[in-house]
């Protein structure tokens, strides 16, 4: 193959990557940017959850209950759906907070953003 063909392949791959990045950032439904939701979730966690949970990587890793959000995010079983189901069901030890669906989305996005690797 000629040098030019390789260049074309390279440019095509770059375009593909750019499209992938774009699709990851923007929800298919045109919903608000995920990063906005994560930021909103962080604010909610800061206001509502911090008294009991370590809500970010800086404070994670302290032993004992309740589990910190980084640990929750890193469990293979944790998904946006499992978190939202947890928010909607009643708990034994955690207070049953009233969380609106949009806020539940934000909190779930925030917690999942803490997942490592």
| Residues engaged in binding ligand HEC (CB under 6 A) | 45, 48-49, 51-53, 65-67, 72, 83, 86, 91-95, 97, 107
Burial class, 30, CB count within 10 angstroms (exposed 0-12 / middle 13-18 / buried 19+): exposed
Min dist CB 76 to ligand HEC, Å, is 12
Minimum CB separation from ligand HEC for residue 110, in Å?
8
Nearer to ligand HEC, 32 or 66 (CB): 66
Q: How far apart are CA 115 and CA 74, in angstroms?
A: 5
d(C-alpha 43, C-alpha 109), whole Å = 12
């Amino acid at each position: 193959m000629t040098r030019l063909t390789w260049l074309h392949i390279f440019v095509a791959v770059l375009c593909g990557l750019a499209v992938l990045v774009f699709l990851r950032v923007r929800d298919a439904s045109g919903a608000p940017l995920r990063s906005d939701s994560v930021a909103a979730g962080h604010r909610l966690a800061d206001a509502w959850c911090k008294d009991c949970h370590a809500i970010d990587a800086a404070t994670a890793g302290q032993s004992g209950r309740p589990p910190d959000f980084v640990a929750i995010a890193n469990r293979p079983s944790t998904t946006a759906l499992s978190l939202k189901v947890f928010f909607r069901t009643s708990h034994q030890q955690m207070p049953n907070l009233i969380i609106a669906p949009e806020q539940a989305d934000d909190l779930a996005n925030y917690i999942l953003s803490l997942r490592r690797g």
